[in-house]
Amino acid sequence: MFTTPPKTKLTFEEYLTYDDGTDNRYELEDGELILVNPPTGRHALIIYFLVNTFITEITRLQLPWAAMQLIGVRTAPRRSRLPDICIAPLEGIRDKLDVSAVIESDAALAVEIVSPDSVKRDYRFKRAEYASFGIPEYWIVDPIEQKVTILLLIEGLYEETVYQGDAPIQSQTFPELILTVSQILQV
């Protein structure tokens, strides 16, 4: 049974407890629920590859972090996003064991995989929201344009570097990581 999201605007607290009886996932934009479509196979395989890559690097460096999917990031009083991947301290995630997993601080890195219906959200809206939230590094993986844009937070604004092909990606969060766009998009 499909349930229509409520027409009234939700508070952040109402969003955290919202349940429409489905497995639908929603982001919150100025109090309105925005349905997040399930990923395509390509999208899912890119997430799988990157999560495994990040977990390997986190383990190698013995960092107290987790590479998470399905975890929310509160970006404003009435906004919450569901990045495809979020690198966050384990301590902050453990605080959410029995409640909606939406972190409100300390994300180290967010990754979005661009799909045809998310281009504007990923490049424009989430860029501004993740910067205001203070996420130091934001990756936009774009299989449509065959590129990865790495955004580094400098004095409150993101500065971007675009990578294509076999050029090695430079990550501030994982400076020893050896990775190219070709490897990420090889699915």
pLDDT tens digits for range 54-87 = 999 999 999 999 999 988 999 989 999 999 999 9
Place of tokens 């955004």: 151
Measured between alpha carbons, how far is 43 from 165 in angstroms, rounded to an integer?
18
3-class state of residue 171 by DSSP: coil
The pLDDT score that the predictor gives to residue 3 is: 53
Q: Quick one: average pLDDT of 8-24?
A: 92
Q: Which two tokens stand for residue 99?
A: 């409640």
Which of 6-20, 29-43, 71-85, 148-162 is predicted with the least confidence, judged by mean pLDDT?
6-20
- pLDDT at site 94: 79
Residue with tokens 């130091």: 136
- What is the arithmetic mean of pLDDT over 165-181? 97
Exposed e or buried b per residue across 6-24, where buried means at least 16 C-beta atoms within 10 angstroms of its C-beta: eeeebebeebbeeeeeeeb
CATH number (3.50.50.60, 3.40.50.720, 3.90.1570.10, 3.90.1150.10) of 39-184 reads 3.90.1570.10
Q: What mean pLDDT do residues 121-136 have? A: 95
pTM (2 decimals)? Answer: 0.91
Q: Which residues contact 164 (CB under 8 A, 6 or more apart)?
A: 146, 147, 148, 181
Please answer whether residues 38 and 22 qualify as being in contact, where contact means their C-beta atoms are separated by less than 8 angstroms: no
